[in-house]
Structure 1
Amino acid sequence: MITYLNDSDVKNNLPVKECASELREAFISCGKNESSSSPRDRICRKDFVFSTMPAFYGKRGIAGLKTYIAGKNGYRFFVLIFESEHPERLFAIDANVLGQIRTGAVAAMVTSEIVKKKRINYTVIGSGFQAESQFAAISEFYDIDDAYVYSRNIDHARKFAEKFGNKIKPVKSLECLSESDVISSATDTVKPIFNYSMLGKNYHINLIGANVLGSREADKDVMEKSDTVLEENSEQSELESSEISEIGNRHNVVNLSEFLLQPGKYQGNKTVFKCLGIGLEDLAAGYILLKNMNLL
């Protein structure tokens, strides 16, 4: 039996905070070798790219994958979930909105594990679909004193601010980074947007874009001079992230599962989370959706 769920089902049944909590459990489960997630596989052709991201979430007894196709005629995202004990049951979930929510949720979850004060200054770099979920998710976890949005097109930044009732200020430069406790970058840039000299004494950065080798959002000195750089899957980082794979001796790179399993071990006031997205995150988000709809 196949059960199909659409983006409206996702919007109505996947709260950010509940998703974030489940994502934390999923990474801890992976750290205990109860769950696993394979790197993204891409099939690249002239007119499209087809990707798959398989995973098994042992704690919840589900297996499946995120799969999507993107090309000149558009894109489509799906998450497919099997119950491992009842493989005849299959859930097919439209995953455009699910991917947006889980990406915002995982970044907010990681931030909340590191930045313990409740009031912050915040900057989001980028003004698109994923940037919206970054601001929305961080706003669920923190009271924000000063919030800024930067885009290479200031009109895009202004429209972004209007969507959120002007609770965030559009800016023409990134001078605001020096006074920002938390920074999220969600762009399609290839060249670095900011470097270490632009940052304050204490910061946490969520890097959401640049998931192809050769592209960067943060300059190399940001990655090398930060106290801790968190990654989701080391094999995937080597395949997709120049920001991580080109770090000198990788002394400061820590797997997110290990970080969550040993709270307090990794100290420092300058941290970076490189979010590439792995299938386990989509399974965790899908589990919350199915649970809230009484399907699991």
Structure 2
Amino acid sequence: MTGLRWGILATGLIARLFTSDLRTAGLDVAAVGSRSPGSAERFAEEFGIARAYGSYEELVADPDVDIVYVATPHPMHAENALLAIAAGKHVLVEKPFTLTAAEAQQVRDAAAERGVLAMEAMWTRYLPHMARIREIIADGTLGEVRTVFADHTQQISADPAHRLNALELGGGALLDLGIYPVSFVWDVLGAPSTVVASARLGETGADTEVATIFTHASGAVSTTVSSSRAAGPNTAHVVGTKARIDIDRVWYNPTTFRMTAPDGTVLEEYVSEVEGRGMQYQAIAAERLVAAGLTDSDLLPIDETVAIMGTLDEVRRQIGVRYPSEH
């Protein structure tokens, strides 16, 4: 490993999952910061972290922290990332990277000016089965990729007070769940040339179901569906003229896939063998980039992250969802 020392900014569920995988991979977690000293101390005790801070400012000021993982709610991502960047820290920011493309540009530009890595924690891109799928597509084994479709559908909560239904917290199925299939489509087919979106809104005005249809420069089409009120298959498919790939549930986690010819012959079966949840792969990638003196991800460049946020902005424009901070 490169010896980078991680600081964990926030102590919620996603921070715990990520830190657990860092420990699984033997990476160095130096400190944790929370707005609540007690929460930071409990988190530090749980994961054997030496230093716990009762503010984010103290965390990013720690000279023994090299890279900060930002795990706060969506509306705070930009502010917290900018805080860490200003302190000279590299940042890995939970997806969605920010609330809007404009915020993403701010973080990108600040990191470039400071000369540090700013990377979106779209951990699925770094999983081994996704790396194999990119190899198959690049080799031309699928032929011409004609369509991609994926869903991320869960039954979470209809409670108006739940974070996912609170617009002031960036709530809605799109940013929490839809970001996964939208980013997957970008990964396989590149930027959409056209975007069509439709949605169902809940009682608070947050999107509970969102469907998208994209066309791409190659002529391929893609569809995504996300829902926070009903659990679907959570599978993904890449369909080419010579073969297709079917990624099993849950496709955005370490899982299995099959490559199948048009006549039904199975050409390849892949089984993931991953310790933990798999969030360590993005951290290892970030450490390797920094060790190589690089400040941008090769698998998910910061400009692509900004552009994906632009696509999500357009989807929200079409479905009529705006966050209070945008008014």
Whether these two folds match at TM > 0.5 is no
Larger radius of gyration: 2
TM-score of Structure 1 vs Structure 2, range by shorter chain: 0.3 to 0.5
Higher relative contact order (CA 8 A, sep 6+): 1
Which of the pair is proportionally richer in strand? 1
Could you state the TM-score of these two structures normalised by the residue count of structure 1?
0.36
